[in-house]
Amino acid sequence: MKRFAAWCLVAQILLFTVEFFVNVCIAADQPIDERAAAEFFEKKIRPLLAKHCYECHAHDKAGDSGELAVDSRAALLKGGDRGPIMVAGKPDESLLLKALKYGDPKLQMPPEGKLPDAEIELLTKWIADGAFVPEYGVAAQKKGKEIDWTAARQFWSVRPLGRVAIPEFRISDIGFRNEGAGKAGDDAALLSIRNPQSAIRNPLDSFIVAKLHENGLAPSSAADKRTLIRRLAFDLIGLPPSPDEVAEFLADERPDAYERLVDRLLASPHFGERWARYWLDLARYVDDTPDWQKTTEQAWLYRDWVVRAFNEDRPYDEFVKLQLAADMMPETVPEDYAALGFVGLSPQYWKELKLAPSVIEVIVADEWDERLDAVSRTFLGLTVACARCHDHKFDAITTRDYYALAGVFASTDLSDRPLLPSPTAELVREARHKVDSLKESLKKTKGKESEEAQQLQQQIVDLREATPYFDTPMAPTIEEASVFVMPDGPDATKLDIRRRQPRDLPVFRRGNPSNPGDIVPRRFLELFSSATSQPFQQGSGRREFAEALFHDAQALTARVIVNRIWSHHFGKGLVRTPSDFGLQGERPSHPELLDWLSSEIAECGVRSAEGEDGRHRAAWALKRFHRLLVTSSTYR
C-alpha cells in the first residue's frame, strides 16, 4: 500500500513537471503582443533612454562613445565595440544591465551615477519580455526634420468628413456566388438573396450588402425572434429578458414589434447602467484608489452622473464638454458639476515634503501626463502622451503639441471642497443675492463719501465675517466651481476643480522637468490648426479644448465614438484599435461606412431636421445612433 502511494506521488510530480514544461513551451511560442509591447516601450523605456543615453549614444554621436547607439532597433541589436549590449529574453546575459547595475568597476553607465532601482527594473522587464522596439512609421511625412503638415492632414482618420454616397442598386439584380457551387463565371453558381425585402432596412445595410456582393458573399439569415430579444437585451441593458418578456415578444405579430422592443429597452434605466460601464473604463474610473494615491470619497458622484447622462440621452458633444469644463460653461446646473470627475478623478500621487523638489516636479508632470493620455485616447483616439520626451515616432504630434495641452491641466487645480446640503445652499443663494443688492446700492452712491455708503460697505464686510464658510464660494476671483450642491445631499467632501493662474509650460527636454526649454502657449494640436487658430485665452483653456474637439477635430471625434459604439454592438470595431487612430492603429475595414456613420452622428444637429421616420434628428444623439445600428438587417 505504501509502495502504491509512493508511485501515486511520483506520478503526480511527473504530471506536474510535464504540465509545467508544456505551459512554459506554449508561453514561449506565444507571439508578442506588439501593440502592448510598443506602448510599454514608448511610455516607459524610450523616456529612460532619452533621459540617460541619447546625449552620448545617439547616431550622430556614436563615434565618440564606442560606436554604440541606442536610438534605433538596429543599433540596439548591433551594439558597440564590446559587441551586442543586450540579449533579448535574457537579461542576465545582457551587457546593458551589467553596466547599469555597477557590478563591474570598469563598466558603469551612466558615468554620472547609478540609475534608481525602479528604472533598472523597468529595463530588466523590457529585455526579459523580448526587448521589443517598434519600427518607425511615415505618417508624419517628414521633410528632413520637419513634419509635412499638408501630407499629415491627408491621413484617413483626420481628413474632414465628406458626403458619402449610399450604394444604390436593385436587390433583385444582385447575385451572390455560392462557394463551391461552380466555376468562376458560371451563372448557375449565382444565388439570389433570400427574402430580399429584409436585406436592406436602412442605409447601413446598403454599404454592407454592396461590400458582400463585391466579394461574392451573401448576407447571413436573420436570427429568430427568441435570439433577437436576448441579443438586444444584453447589448442595450446588459440583462437577460424575463420569460414573460420573451413570451410577449414572441406573441407580438405587429410589423413594428422589434422597433417597439428597441425603444422600450433604450428607455430603460438599465440602459445607462450598461453603457456607463464602458465609458467609466475609458475614464479609468475606480471607486477607491491605492494608498499611495490621494483619493476622494465622492467618486460615485461622477459614476452616477454618467449613468444619468446616458439615460437622459445627453448629446455627445454636451456630454464631453461637461466632463472637461462644466465649471466654465454658462448655465451649468449644480448636478452637472459631478461631470468634472473625468478630469478630477485622475491619479494624484502623494508628495512627501522630504522629497527633493526635482522629484516632486516629476510626480506632478506624471499627473498631467495621466490626464492628457486619458483625454487624448478617449476622445481623439490618439496617443499624444507618446510625445512627452520627443516628437511622436509615428504620428504627426510634436513635443510642443504635448506641452501645449499639458499646460491646460497644469493650469487646473484639484482639491477637496465642502459639498453643501440643500438647506445650506439656500443660505448661500440668499447671501449672494443680498451681497449683489448691496453692491448695486453702492454703485449708485459711488464717489460719495457719505455715511450711508460707508454703512453699506460695512454691511458687506459684516456679512462675510459672519459667514466665513461661504466666503470662498462667493469670491469673484474664482472662475471655476468652488462649492457643489446636490439636492438633498448629505454633508460630504467633493473634488473641486478651479483655476490656477494660467500657465504656459516649457518643453521639458527629454521629458525632464529640470531641463526646461522654450515656452509653448496653450493651444490645440497643430495637426488640426488653421490660419485662424489662436492660443487658448480663457482661463486654463479646458473649455476651448473641449470646443476644439467638436470644431477643429470634429471628423476624428465622430469617427472615434462611432467606432466605439459599433464595436460593442458587433463585437469588433470598423477600426480594430478603438483608442489608436494613428499610424500604429489598424485601418478601417469599411472606410466609406465609417465616414457615413460619422457624418450621420455629427451632422444631424447641423440639419436639425425631422428624419424620414419622423423622429427629431438631434445633434450628436447617441440613443438615435444606437437605434440606427440595432434596427439594421446587419445587426439582426
Do 432 and 507 lie in one domain? The reply is: no
Paired with 497 in beta bridges are: 414
Of 76, 84, 69, the C-alpha closest to 126 is: 76
Q: How far apart are the first and last CA of the chain?
A: 63
Q: How confident is the model over 474-493, as a mean pLDDT? A: 37
Residue 56 lies in a domain: yes
Q: How confident is the model over 352-368, as a mean pLDDT? A: 79
Report whether 413 contacts 480 (CB < 8 A). Answer: no
Do 208 and 105 lie in one domain? The reply is: no
Do 329 and 295 lie in one domain? The reply is: yes
Do 382 and 452 lie in one domain? The reply is: no
> What local confidence, expressed as pLDDT, does residue 604 receive?
55
Dihedral of CA 177/180/184/186: which sign?
negative
- Could you identify the residue written with the cell 469617427? 559
Alpha helix stretches (DSSP H) within 161-238: 203-214, 225-237
Q: Where are the beta strands (DSSP E) in 41-152?
A: 142-143, 146-147
pLDDT higher than 90, residue 521:
yes
More confident of the two residues 609 and 451: 451
Count other C-beta atoms under 10 Å from residue 358's C-beta.
Answer: 10
- Could you identify the residue written with the cell 434596427? 631
Residue 48 lies in a domain: yes
- Could you identify the residue written with the cell 505551459? 23
- Which grid cell sits at 217? 458573399
Do 516 and 482 lie in one domain? The reply is: no
Report whether 199 contacts 205 (CB < 8 A). Answer: yes
CA–CA separation, 592 vs 580, rounded Å?
Answer: 19
Residue 148 lies in a domain: no
Residue 627 lies in a domain: no
Conformational region of residue 169, where left means phi above 0, alpha means psi within -120 to 50, and beta covers everything else: beta
pLDDT tens, residue by residue, 37-73: 777 887 778 777 777 777 677 655 555 555 677 766 6
Residue 477 lies in a domain: yes
**Measuring CA to CA, how many Å separate 104 from each of 53, 66, 100, 101?**
19, 18, 10, 8
More confident of the two residues 7 and 266: 266
Q: How confident is the model over 251-275, as a mean pLDDT? A: 96
- As a dihedral over the C-alpha atoms of residue 610, residue 615, residue 618, residue 622, rounded to 10 degrees, the angle is -150
Residue 506 lies in a domain: yes
> What local confidence, expressed as pLDDT, does residue 306 receive?
97
Do 432 and 373 lie in one domain? The reply is: no
Dihedral of CA 41/97/95/391: which sign?
positive
Do 286 and 377 lie in one domain? The reply is: yes
Conformational region of residue 571, where left means phi above 0, alpha means psi within -120 to 50, and beta covers everything else: left
- Which grid cell sits at 400? 510642443
Provide, rounded to the nearest whole percent, the portion of the chain with pLDDT above 90.
37
> What local confidence, expressed as pLDDT, does residue 112 receive?
76
Do 435 and 385 lie in one domain? The reply is: no
Residue 244 lies in a domain: no
CA–CA separation, 502 vs 407, rounded Å?
Answer: 8
CA–CA separation, 414 vs 452, rounded Å?
Answer: 42
- Which grid cell sits at 467? 459667514
> What local confidence, expressed as pLDDT, does residue 240 receive?
97
Number of domains into which the chain is organized: 5
pLDDT tens, residue by residue, 2-18: 554 555 544 454 544 44
CA–CA separation, 351 vs 87, rounded Å?
Answer: 37
How do 142-143 and 516-519 pair as beta strands?
Answer: unpaired
- Which grid cell sits at 495? 473634488
pLDDT tens, residue by residue, 106-163: 777 777 778 888 888 888 888 888 888 876 544 444 545 688 899 999 999 999 998 8
How do 146-147 and 142-143 pair as beta strands?
Answer: antiparallel
Question: Burial of 134 by CB count in 10 Å (0-12 exposed, 13-18 middle, 19+ buried)?
Answer: middle
Q: How many CA atoms lie within 13 A of 627 on its CB side?
A: 19
- Asked which of 125-134, 368-377, 407-416, 493-502 is least confident by mean pLDDT, the reply is 493-502
pLDDT higher than 60, residue 395:
yes
- Give the angle subtended at the CA of 560 by the CAs of 277 and 596, to the nearest 5°: 120
CA–CA separation, 174 vs 191, rounded Å?
Answer: 9
- Which grid cell sits at 273? 447602467
How do 190-192 and 175-177 pair as beta strands?
Answer: antiparallel
Do 24 and 40 lie in one domain? The reply is: no
Domain with 453, as residue range(s), is 422-489
* pLDDT bracket for residue 452 (50, 70, 90): low
> What local confidence, expressed as pLDDT, does residue 440 receive?
74
Q: How confident is the model over 186-209, as a mean pLDDT? A: 63
pLDDT tens, residue by residue, 309-318: 999 999 999 9
> What local confidence, expressed as pLDDT, does residue 140 receive?
44
Do 479 and 527 lie in one domain? The reply is: no
**265: CB partners within 8 A, 6+ apart:** 232, 233, 236, 237, 271
Last residue of a domain, one of 104, 128, 152: 128
Strand, helix or coil for residue 517: strand
CA–CA separation, 177 vs 190, rounded Å?
Answer: 5
More confident of the two residues 327 and 481: 327
> What local confidence, expressed as pLDDT, does residue 84 receive?
77
Do 383 and 507 lie in one domain? The reply is: yes
Strand, helix or coil for residue 63: helix
Q: How many CA atoms lie within 13 A of 368 on its CB side?
A: 24
Do 406 and 319 lie in one domain? The reply is: yes
Report whether 67 contacts 81 (CB < 8 A). Answer: yes
Q: How confident is the model over 163-192, as a mean pLDDT? A: 52
CA–CA separation, 36 vs 528, rounded Å?
Answer: 27
Paired with 499 in beta bridges are: 412
> What local confidence, expressed as pLDDT, does residue 21 receive?
45
> What local confidence, expressed as pLDDT, does residue 48 receive?
76
Of 594, 593, 576, the C-alpha closest to 585 is: 576
Report whether 587 contacts 578 (CB < 8 A). Answer: no
Report whether 584 contacts 381 (CB < 8 A). Answer: no
Residue 366 lies in a domain: yes
pLDDT higher than 90, residue 472:
no
Of 559, 635, 551, the C-alpha closest to 595 is: 559
Paired with 191 in beta bridges are: 176
Q: Where are the beta strands (DSSP E) in 4-95?
A: none
Backbone angles phi, psi at 178, to 5 degrees: -80, 115
The pLDDT mean for the chain works out to: 77
CA–CA separation, 504 vs 522, rounded Å?
Answer: 6
- Could you identify the residue written with the cell 516632486? 360
> What local confidence, expressed as pLDDT, does residue 243 receive?
96
